[in-house]
Structure 1
Amino acid sequence: MSDAIVDVAAALFAEHGIRAVSADRVLEAAGYSKVTFYRHFPSKDALVVAYLEGELARVRTLLDDAAAAGGPGSTTEVAAALTEEMCRPHFRGCPFINAAAEYPDPEHPVRRVVSDFRSLMTGAIAGWVRARGAADPERLAEQIMMLRDGALVAGYLSSEPGLVARELAGSLDALLAAAGVRDAV
């Protein structure tokens, strides 16, 4: 039942923004009572944390699956993985970037999940570039995350997200080549 509430909330948050969606609106759309909601979530913020933790678990699974398959082999594959979502219909931006914009306090539980996501991503990227000979993999991973963040925002704003994905691949190639990373395609 709590998963069903989170699923409905995720769709509403993606479409309208987190702050614009009340707990009552989630409950109405999900067909549950306030008693049921508060049995699972002590507050709307707890629901937002559960939503982002679900997104984080999904990303972790994608990264684990990619690592088990030998990891991405080319910068084109990395760029595709970083921007896969923005090429889907009705893309509304990165849920973590959106949440960070709506919760400015870095100590807020929502922002802690955002931080966990960024740590997971930069760690995975640092491992990928380290294996390809990057001299400063942590710095390069931060730079790649900046490219990713910009591309996701551009993908949300653009009428051509596929073009943004291609431009990200080109920018990523240039950044990796400048850093001396092997196998920059």
Structure 2
Amino acid sequence: MPRKPAPGTRERILDVAADLFDRRGVHAVGMQQIIDGVGCGKQLLYREFPSKDHLVVAYLERSAQAWASTLARVCATVDAPEDQLVELVRAVQGMAPNTRGCPLRNTHAEFPDPGHPAHQVSLKHFQDVREQLRELARRTPAAHPDRLGDRIMLIIDGLYVSGSTLGPTGAGATAVGLAQDVVRAEIAAQAV
């Protein structure tokens, strides 16, 4: 009878894989590197994740969940939707300088085939984020809420792209200020 994996094995594998994927990219990391990093046997890894594609999808789903948690936290602690939009940019500002970019965006770029599960998961995430930001913007008095949501998404994407190169005081402070300016301009346009 096969042994049951220790509690937390799946998460430990995901932690090691996420670290390697984040630092090197998904294609650059082989399953043996993950096995070596976890210190487990090949059978254990493949029992938890039958293929690298399964592991990559789990990694992306966990990354998407991190965004969902950030969104929920911001919406629970900040009252006004216009302030929530700015606070989301501030939350990403705190994460972006410490990364090689957005894990979902990076993986999407590595898997351009629309039929690949990694492409599909990342694309769905960005479609969901866009709709979430637009929905928040629709709760503001902005003249063009969908445009406001899209602009906030572009600011967030810019933080992930430039955050690691410009650092928290470069890209981060600029991005938060830009988000505030964009929100104010969209709301002012409504008043005209």
Report the equivalent of 1:80. Answer: 90
Q: Would you say the 8 A contact 1:14–1:95 is kept in 2?
A: yes
Higher helix residue share: 2
Matched, 1:165 2:175: no
Matched, 1:67 2:67: no
Residues in 1 aligned to 2:165 and 2:97: alpha-carbon distance in whole angstroms: 12
Report the equivalent of 1:180. Answer: 187
Instruction: Show structure 2 runs of 5+ residues with no match.
Output: 1-8
Report the equivalent of 1:43. Answer: 51
Residues in 2 aligned to 1:40 and 1:83: alpha-carbon distance in whole angstroms: 33
TM-superposed CA distance for 1:137, in Å, is 2.3
Q: Deviations over 1:137-158 (max 9, x none)?
A: 2332122212211221111222
Instruction: Give the paired residue count.
Output: 179
Residues in 1 aligned to 2:92 and 2:112: alpha-carbon distance in whole angstroms: 24
Q: Would you say the 8 A contact 1:129–1:181 is kept in 2?
A: no
Report the equivalent of 1:148. Answer: 156
Residues in 1 aligned to 2:71 and 2:55: alpha-carbon distance in whole angstroms: 24
Q: Would you say the 8 A contact 2:97–2:160 is kept in 1?
A: no
> Which structure 2 residues correspond to residues 112-151 of structure 1 after superposition, within 5 A?
112-151=120-159
Q: Would you say the 8 A contact 1:135–1:179 is kept in 2?
A: yes
Residues in 1 aligned to 2:128 and 2:92: alpha-carbon distance in whole angstroms: 13
- Taking a change above 3 Å as real, the CA distance of residues 33 and 121 of structure 1, as seen in their structure-2 partners, is same
Q: Would you say the 8 A contact 1:75–1:169 is kept in 2?
A: no
- Taking a change above 3 Å as real, the CA distance of residues 142 and 107 of structure 1, as seen in their structure-2 partners, is farther
* Amino acid corresponding to residue 94 of structure 2 in structure 1: E
> Which structure 2 residues correspond to residues 7-26 of structure 1 after superposition, within 5 A?
7-26=15-34
Report the equivalent of 1:111. Answer: 119
Larger radius of gyration: 2
Residues in 2 aligned to 1:8 and 1:43: alpha-carbon distance in whole angstroms: 16
Report the equivalent of 1:27. Answer: 35
Residues in 1 aligned to 2:15 and 2:148: alpha-carbon distance in whole angstroms: 35
Instruction: Show structure 1 runs of 5+ residues with no match.
Output: none
- Taking a change above 3 Å as real, the CA distance of residues 181 and 39 of structure 1, as seen in their structure-2 partners, is farther
Q: CA RMSD in A?
A: 2.1
